[in-house]
Structure 1
Amino acid sequence: CHRPVQKAGGEENWFFKLSEFQEPLLKFYEENPDFIRPETRKNEVVTFVKSGLKDLSISRSTFDWGVPLPFDEGHVAYVWADALLAYLTGIGYGDEQRAGEFEQRWPMQYHFVGKDITRFHCVIWPAMLMAAGLPITHTVFGHGFLLTKGEKMSKSKGNGMKPADLVKIFGVDAYRYYFMSDVQFGHDGNISMERMVQVYNADLANTWGNLCSRVFNMTNKYFDGKVPAVPADAAERVANPMLPIVEQLYTKYDACMSQVDFTGAAAAVQELAGRVNLYVEESAPWNLAKKEETQGDLAAVIYNALEAIRIIALYMAPFMPNTSNEVFDRLSLGKVTDVVDVEGATKWGQLPAGNTVTVGDPLFPRLNMDEIQIEE
């Protein structure tokens, strides 16, 4: 804030003996290499701990607002002592009536925090848990900041972007998709309206949304809005270039999601969506529909495209749950968000023949940058 620093007078504090946990913490980091992620955050924390830890002041006595210490009512708890404890008390720790809830929920698998507070969550917090004899969170993930034109968002600079304004333009699903696919989680992300529109039109309007529209329309036109049954000879004769991609996709997708690499997971699904669009162009179902002898091949092509759409919707669900539910509804499949076994559900060939296919409105109408307006 550029105001002059004023040295405060002394006060009596209670301290947590953080200095005694330097070696236990370093040992814990070594034995649990995935505790701090990404790697850059881990290196920062380990270097900080190796430089030496001092005992931590956990109380204040010069004011009376705050949470009183139960063992000394003349002191209130330092915010980074009582705030960290809220992770436990919020899920029933210390409450006999909620003991079962605490046992079920702790320790958590992932704790997501901003990169500027990793020391509190990766040094002070695990030391407090060690002192209390409690298990420690499996992984703390320190994510980056969102920047506009390389700068932090600031009210004084007027370069902030309000989520509510962006949702009005893109819709909540496309908003979610952009920040999970184009901004590498764990790093600072440089965002702009121009880039958001570019990703929206390329990935959603032109690829995913366009694929659904054209295939649903052709299903309606050529098969009266029903998933076609594929003759056995056509199934053997008509090539299915999506199948090898689908057979490898779960492994690739699962590895990315397990590493909190949302960008990689989204890219893997978009690879399949792009291949289905190309498949439609290569197969030219509009030409197959002109001849009686190629009706079986037409059924195989449309079925393959519809089945690929079903699988894409399943993989897109964590990014765009509303859109995936809409696609499943148009395929008469219920709710995609009810699916529990994603690996099993994404195996090829599970779309029932005869299901009604509804065309509906375009999922992602194209956006024109020149026509976008944000209310002041």
Structure 2
Amino acid sequence: MPRFYLTTAIDYANGDPHLGHALEKIGADVIARYRRQCGDDVHLLIGMDEHGQKVQQTAAKDGVAPQAFTDEIAARFQAIWSKLGISYDQFIRTTESHHKTGVQALIRMIAERNPDDFYERSYTGMYCVGCEAFKQDADIVEGKCVLHPTRTLEEVEERNWFFRLSKYQGFLQNLLATNPSFIEPESRRNEILGLLAQGLDDISASRARLDWAVPFPLVLSNGETQGTYVWFDALPNYLTGTGFPDAGYEARWPADLHIIGKDITRFHVVIWPAMLEAAGLPLPKQVWAHGFVQLGGERFSKSAGVKLDLGEAIDRYGADAFRYVLLREVPFDSDGNFSWERFEERYTSDLANAFGNLASRAIAMVEKYFDGVVPAAARPDAELDDDADVAAYHAGMNGSRGWLLHEGLAAVSRMTARANEYTAATTPWAVAKEAARTAELEQILASLIRRIARQTVLLAPFMPTKVEAVWTQLGAPGTVAAQRIDALAELEPAGWRVQKGEGVFPRPAPPTAPPAK
């Protein structure tokens, strides 16, 4: 059984999960569920990034210990992922003892293999607590970080351990030249190539006066012990999550796919590969950087006050509808906008009126005309156009052209529209009035149930709960999640006993005030 190890960025423990977090986790979950239905042994890792100056300051402001602060936030994140049906296999926290051991082991491995890669240096720079990073002039506009314009940059002067990142510039340029799919989509790769062309600076690997951190395992010449810089703590979670440095971690490492936001590509495509190369460890196979979700054209940001209550948004139409509409509306390779008006339009058109209505009508007609048993009939030529959309679905979902989940959903939507057009064109309710046309009616309804069953399997990674209800109403065997998504050609519903239930996608009530705050 092929292994497939994918990860998301671990979320920083400084507030509640927002729509941007949800986009990434839902997207990763869809890929994980798709790969499971293709027969892969999947391991999905998500988690929390809990160290750093920002957490330490926020916890102190709230009058609680950092560990208690992060425990409470981690619980809130896990509750939302449960509500959204995120089927993660592992939830890692950087405060776990094994992770700390692994981070220190990786740093020692680098130091032993390349003794000159860590060196002491005094440094003065502008530090953004929001990014947990020193900022270059290009990242500062009117004295503010471009990503956190409401935060005041801090001028920091201290003596730290530095990592000789500049040494790996040629290695990274060669990596992207010989393996261009290492970072996708192409727009993100071009950004990194531009960054590399400007030349790399060495980076701080430790921080002074930072208690809330993994202790940096190397001691400065003056005897001072410092805390590990938060990115040298956070990035190794993908590795420590496999059990590193204990024996057997190689069974899962390297990761097949890192899914991250476009704002942290530099850390994952420059710093992380350089760290692994310095340690003599294999690199992940690919990094995929999705875009931002915007609300009214503004990026979601706690500090800027642009937010939406995620729990209330999920409750509005349920987790499955939320998952579907978000990935249908927001391209997984670029930025996208979220609005309740567009959400309701998409829910009504795609789910209530198209797929939901198609399933309800077809099941009702099989009950009425064939006592609930799906007839056996040859596949009509009208179904052949679906084959191209099944291929398009896989092309959007399997990574061969990038992780274009929105294209996968668009392909299923075309199949649904075609089935509704077929229903209107063949008028089975009229055919049923003529006894001599029974064979024709059998073919029409068998085709409709077959199409709905296939669409249900294709939609399972996106809406696992709702389509399971449809699968049950179809009288299909087992569970929809157990169906091989790459074996749709063999899916034959003849003999299934349908049972009409409540509509899985009821039409929305009249609009109310949106829950955005």
Q: 1:32 Cα deviation (Å)?
A: 0.8
Counterparts of 2:302 and 2:244 in 1: how far apart (Å)? 39
Is the aligned partner of 1:7 residue 2:149?
no
Question: Does the 8 Å CA contact 1:307/1:348 hold for their aligned counterparts?
Answer: no
Q: Which secondary structure state, in structure 1, belongs to the residue aligned with residue 337 of structure 2?
A: strand
- Structure 1 position 172 matched with structure 2 position 313: no
Conserved? CA contact 1:246–1:347, under 8 Å: no
C-alpha distance after superposition, 1:20-63 (max 9, x if no partner): 10001100111111111111111111111111111111012234
Offset of 1:145 from its aligned partner? 1.2
- Give the TM-score taking structure 2 as reference length: 0.67
Cα separation, 1, equivalents of 2:285 and 2:516: 43
Count residues with an aligned counterpart: 361
Greater shift, 55-64 or 217-226, is seen at 55-64
Structure 2 match to 1:328 = 471
Question: CA separation in 1, counterparts of 2:245 and 2:345?
Answer: 51
Q: Does 1:111 align with 2:251?
A: no
1:20 maps to 2:136: no
Rounded to whole Å, the distance in 1 between the matches of 2:472 and 2:389 is: 23
Identity of aligned residues (%): 39
Q: More strand per residue: 1 or 2?
A: 2
* Superposition deviation, residue 7 in structure 1: 2.7
Q: Is the Cα–Cα contact under 8 Å of residues 276 and 282 in structure 2 kept in the other structure?
A: yes
Aligned partners of 1:293, 1:140: CA distance in 2, in Å?
60
Superposition deviation, residue 252 in structure 1: 1.5
Q: Note the 1:194-273 alignment, pairs <5 A.
A: 194-230=341-377, 235=378, 239-242=380-383, 244-257=384-397, 258=399, 259-273=402-416
Map of 1:1-376 to 2, 5 A cutoff?
Answer: 1=149, 5-8=153-156, 10-72=157-219, 74-95=225-246, 99-100=247-248, 102-154=249-301, 159-230=306-377, 235=378, 239-242=380-383, 244-257=384-397, 258=399, 259-333=402-476, 334-339=478-483, 341-344=484-487, 346-347=488-489, 350-353=492-495, 355-371=496-512, 374=515
For residues 504 and 152 of structure 2, the distance between their equivalents in structure 1, rounded to whole angstroms, comes to: 54
Runs of 4+ in 1 over 4 A off after TM superposition: 1-6, 154-159
CA distance in 2, matches of 1:342, 1:220: 27
Quick one: distance in 2 between partners of 1:3 and 1:240? 62
Q: Which moved more, 1:211-220 or 1:247-256?
A: 247-256
Report the secondary structure of 1:176's partner residue.
Answer: helix
How far apart are the structure 1 equivalents of 2:154 and 2:168? 32
Instruction: Give the C-alpha shift of residue 186 in structure 1.
Output: 2.3
AA at the equivalent of 2:489: K
Per-residue CA distance 1:281-306 (angstroms, 9 max, x = gap): 11111111111101111111111100
Contact 1:169 1:372 in 2 (8 A): no
Q: Secondary structure at the match of 2:376?
A: coil
Q: Of Structure 1 and Structure 2, which has the larger fraction of its residues in helix? A: 1
CA distance in 1, matches of 2:419, 2:184: 35
Larger Rg: 1 or 2? 1
Could you tell me how far apart the structure 2 residues matched to 1:223 and 1:3 are? 67
Distance in 2 of aligned mates of 1:60 and 1:158? 29
Shift of 1:17: 0.9
- Retained in 1: the 8 A contact 2:262–2:291? yes
Q: Do the aligned residues in 2 keep the contact of 1:215 with 1:302 (CA within 8 Å)? A: yes
SS at match of 2:489: coil
Judge conservation of contact 2:363–2:500 (CA < 8 Å) in 1.
yes
What displacement does 1:315 show? 0.8
Q: Secondary structure at the match of 1:11?
A: strand
Paired AA for residue 347 in structure 1: A
Gap change, CA 1:372 and 1:201, over 3 Å in 2? farther
TM-superposed CA distance for 1:250, in Å, is: 3.1
Alignment partner of 2:180: what SS?
coil
User: What is the CA deviation profile of residues 210-249 of structure 1, one whole-angstrom value per residue up to 9, with x for unaligned ones?
Assistant: 000100111111111111233xxxx48xx4412x123323
How far residue 153 of structure 1 moved from its aligned partner, in angstroms, is: 2.9
Q: Structure 2: where are the runs of 5+ without partners?
A: 1-148
* Cα distance change of structure 1 residues 112 and 241 upon mapping to structure 2, 3 Å threshold: same
Deviations 1:334-363 (A, max 9, x none): 201012x3222x11661132x210110111
1:127-149 Cα distance to aligned partner (Å, 9 max, x none): 00000111111111111111111
Label 1:109 to 1:369 Cα distance change in 2 as closer, same or farther (>3 A). Answer: farther
CA RMSD of aligned residues (A): 2.0
Q: TM-score when scaled to structure 1?
A: 0.91
Letter in 2 for 1:336: V
